[in-house]
Amino acid sequence: MRRALLYLRVSDPRQVHNLSLETQEQMCRAYCEREGMEVVEVFREEGESAKTRYRTELNRLLETCSERRDEIDAVVVYSLSRFARNQSDHQLLRRALRGLGVVLRSATEPIDESETGALLEGVLASVHQFENDLRTRRTIDGMKKALSMGRWPFKGPLGLPNSPKGSGLPSLIHDMDRAPMIRNAFELVATGELTKVEALRQVTALGLTTATGKPISPQHFTKILRNRIYAGWIVLEEWGVEVRGDFEPIVGEEIFQRVQEVLDSRGLKKSHHALDNPLFPLRRFVRCAWCDTPMTGNAPNSGRHRYYFCRNRACQGDGKKRVSVRTEKMERSFLDLVENLAPRPELVSLFAEIVRDVWSKRHRAQAARRDRLARRLDELRSARNGLVDAHVHKGQLDAETFREQMERNRSDEAVVKRQLADATQEVPDVESILPFAERVLRDPGSLWEHSELPQRQRLQRYLFPEGLRYDGESFGIAVRSPVFETLGSLEAEREEVVTLGGFEPPSPG
């Protein structure tokens, strides 16, 4: 008999279909029973988010798999969404398991080790990720709408706290203590007679502190002086937003501009090192091939060219100097690499056919499951009538036995109802996902070129789950997304068939 470990975790409490660990366990056990697997141990992750990769129970599970690799055949999860919430996590974990000779099974989704399974698994994992992205997307849309009306939807900056919800006041109001001190700071710097540090010392002496009562650091002070929100503007470059706020500014436009000139003249240029700078989409995603440090981007203050470079000062690159490369050059070779990923168009159609096929099988399997569960529900109901009959009308059951049996019947019914609700849940419509999947497969390069930063970063991670390495001239060997791996192997097979003479398309099964 094959042996399995169960991995259960509570998902995000905001998620709609949030099942208790008990229900998850019941369903995983039922799955193991159907599949003829023995449950060896159950790992329960309680109250932790999948976003922290270092989940303790998960680590324990991986350790157990490694220590007892001869005994363990499978890890069973309730659903792939319980296992990992994004594609790269999913790939990492799955690869770790595969390396130990352990397969991953989902109690509610068909996955197996065949090529078809791998393809579907990739699609399912991406679908889960898209669902997550959509939720974030909706939040962002809401924020953009608030922003366009001049309302600041985030936490207010120092001196401009948020107004109470539903108060009808502007989105930000003045902190009566700090707002005048911040105005004073701007005025001091605007004179051009004090250095920034001197101005900071003065307002600190007046009592200006952070929200938690700590002294303000020089970096924080620069951020305050650079923040146009104090002049009444809402500016979010990455979202293309620049609107007048609905709140009272702390300083006038003129003083704000003068402060910017003073700071500029002292060489305190605006930082181009924001973590997510759209000018450097490959930042951190690409690592130095020589020392493995993530590469960063830089835009010289006066120069026209932008560079990616190795952040490690001690790195010598190929022996002469650190890797540093024009952004255009690296992005061009990145696009070459991505364009090379795209399989032949016929294979993309084949992929679509395979996914449709698997999907329809899944639909049929789910319909069959629904029928089975509905029948089971009927059985339980008539069994209950039988119990009532035996106890009340025929007096064949004593009160205690009756209560016991009724209780068991009801708890069985609850489980079956839960399973039925799950089996009735809409399977994501394959036809709505395929066009996107096909677009990614057919032309990932142009999709990357025409996307905004967050989509670019997501696509990069999807195509190359482990990131890339760059040696100054080119990228090294990259781990491709499993979908491309699979299509690549189909392509190789097909080439073999073609060279052997006679053309025969590879069979999807």
Our measurement of the distance from residue 375's CA atom to the centroid of its chain's CA atoms, rounded to an integer in Å, reads: 39
CB–CB of 397/390 below 8 Å?
Answer: yes
Residue closer to Zn ion, measured from CB, 4 or 289: 289
Residue closer to Zn ion, measured from CB, 186 or 334: 334
Residue closer to Zn ion, measured from CB, 322 or 442: 322
Q: Report which of 236, 144, 238, 145 is spatially closest to residue 456, judged by C-alpha positions.
A: 238
Q: How far apart are CA 77 and CA 70, in angstroms?
A: 20
Q: Which amino acid is at 379?
A: E
Residue closer to Zn ion, measured from CB, 268 or 315: 315
Residue closer to Zn ion, measured from CB, 130 or 475: 475
Q: How far is the CB of 288 from Zn ion (least distance, A)?
A: 3
Residue closer to Zn ion, measured from CB, 119 or 288: 288
**244-248 long-range contacts, CB within 8 A, separation 24+:** 244/150, 245/150, 245/151, 245/152, 245/170, 245/171, 245/172, 246/149, 246/150, 246/151, 246/170, 246/171, 247/150, 247/152, 247/160, 247/170, 247/171, 247/172, 247/173, 248/170, 248/173, 248/174
Q: How far is the CB of 460 from Zn ion (least distance, A)?
A: 20
For every residue of 48-60, DSSP letters joined together read --TTSS--HHHHH
Residue closer to Zn ion, measured from CB, 221 or 290: 290
Q: How far is the CB of 11 from Zn ion (least distance, A)?
A: 39
Q: How far is the CB of 295 from Zn ion (least distance, A)?
A: 8
The residues of the shown chain that bind Zn ion, judged by CB under 5 A, are 288, 290-291, 310, 312, 315
Q: How far apart are CA 427 and CA 303, in angstroms?
A: 53
The phi and psi torsions of 304 (rounded to 5 degrees) equal -95, -20
Q: How far is the CB of 324 from Zn ion (least distance, A)?
A: 10
Q: How far is the CB of 470 from Zn ion (least distance, A)?
A: 10
The phi and psi torsions of 69 (rounded to 5 degrees) equal -60, -25
Q: How far is the CB of 302 from Zn ion (least distance, A)?
A: 26
Residue keyed to tokens 């001869």: 70
Q: How far is the CB of 289 from Zn ion (least distance, A)?
A: 8
Residue closer to Zn ion, measured from CB, 95 or 311: 311
